[in-house]
Amino acid sequence: MTVFASTDYNAHEIVSHFHDPASGLRAIVAVHSTVLGPAFGGCRMYPYADDEAALADALRLSRAMTYKAALAGVPFGGGKAVIIGDPARDKSDALLTAMARFIDSFGGRYQTADDVGTTVGDMAVMRRITPYARGLADAAGEPCPATAWGTYHGLRAVARHRFGRRDLAGLSVAIQGLGSVGWRLAGYLAADGVRLVVSDIRPEAVARAVRAFGATAVTPDRILFEDVDILSPNALGAVFDDRTIPQLRARAIAGAANNQLARPEHGRMLAARGITYAPDYVVNAGGLIDVAHEGPGYDPQTVLHCCAGIAETVAAVLRRADRDGAAPADIADRMAEECLAAGADADKPLVSPGFRPYDIGALA
């Protein structure tokens, strides 16, 4: 396995491997960039087919975190931790403790939170060893609603840009996935008078949405292809590819799922089909904004206020995409790179401790 030869290697600052024979932990931490602040990114636990797949995930996801943080205006760089193993079978307090020691060894240069295969409860175990395991539960023990609130505001920005609408009443939105983000999003949209079409592989979640929001249920194989104003993927990655894009009937896309485009060119394919795409990492930055506020004086209302600022960032991306005749996904990357360049050049980082949203006036 060679890091530098990997196609996912992108001038990462640190790539570190860790093995703890006693607990069986095998893990990789990739620090992509600390230009704008300490590298932050979730700790994923997954039964990777091999070490190379784990490394590729860490490299790719840590870079994405750099871009997400840059456009969210939070003082973080990008990193990612991956634990090679099956969370249902291999996770133990001993393994989490060993992982916490590994993370602590970065002295704060890398900081983590819950992700696929880990929970806010796991972070609480790790916090006994290191303060750099973040991610708090809300009062009900769920991850906080910040991601759903940010996604809602990102979607509103798309509606405004695409349909000239300040409100959402009467628009139709198809939601794929009614988990912690999709369910909350459905609630916000229903309250705005949106006509909802929903799907989940958990029939009980779908039945609940039909009852609670008057949503129309469709099967998981149909949800992407519904004839709606906005499609909101909140379940899986890589949903837009050579097969699905030609069949889409939605006019616009705004959802929280990570890595919605199977490959970068799929952002251009969406644009060529006239479908307005709000880049996933801009839309779903609410959780990151929330983590950035953790600590003494944490105020959920301030967090939600900052998450609403995602609307301005989405609007800036879409305006510039129109102006330049480019795909919004490419424009978001370019804007993030501009933030990084500004942050690297300045005496002080571009982002402020007040976590202003991305300064759209400067670059839009």
Q: Scanning residues 173 to 212, which ones bind ligand NAD (CB under 6 A)?
A: 176-182, 199-202, 205
- 240-279 residues in contact with ligand NAD (CB under 6 A) are 256-258
CB of 206 to ligand NAD, least distance (A): 9
Name the residue among 177, 211, 180, 213 with its Cα closest to residue 195. 213
Work out the angle at residue 146's Cα, subtended by the Cα atoms of residues 262 and 166, and round it to the nearest 5 degrees: 85
State which residue, 95 or 175, has the beta carbon closest to ligand NAD: 175
Number of residues that bind ligand NAD (CB under 6 A): 23
Q: Shortest distance, CB of residue 93 to ligand NAD, whole angstroms?
A: 23
Candidate list 71, 284, 309, 310; residue touching ligand NAD; CB under 6 A: 284
Q: How far is CA 341 from the centre of its chain?
A: 22
| Nearest residue (CB) to ligand NAD, 257 versus 271 | 257
> Residue 50 CB, nearest distance to ligand NAD (Å)?
22
Task: Answer yes or no: 348 catalytic.
Answer: no
**287 touches ligand NAD by CB under 6 A:** yes
DSSP state letter for 194: P
Q: In degrees, to the nearest 5, what angle opens at C-alpha 9 toward C-alphas 4 and 15?
A: 75
Classify the phi-psi angles of 292: left when phi > 0, otherwise alpha if psi is within -120 to 50, otherwise beta: alpha
Q: Among 341, 261, 336, which residue's Cα sits nearest to residue 65? A: 336
- How far, in Å, are 58, 95, 271, 302 from residue 111 at the CA level? 14, 17, 35, 22
Query: Which positions from 110 to 149 touch ligand NAD by CB under 6 A, shown as an x/- string?
Result: ---------------------------------x---x--
Distance CA 308, CA 145 (A): 12
24 is a contact residue toward ligand NAD (CB under 6 A): no
Q: How many angstroms separate the most distant Cα atoms in the chain?
A: 59
Taking the complex as a whole, the smallest distance from the CB of residue 250 to ligand NAD amounts, in Å, to 15
Residue 194: which residues within 8 A CB-CB, separation 6 or more? 168, 169, 170, 171, 172, 173
Query: Among residues 54 and 148, whose Cβ is nearest to ligand NAD?
Result: 148
Residue nearest to ligand NAD (CB): 179
Annotated catalytic residues are 80
- Contacts with ligand NAD, residue ranges (CB under 6 A): 143, 147, 176-182, 199-202, 205, 220, 234-236, 256-258, 284, 287
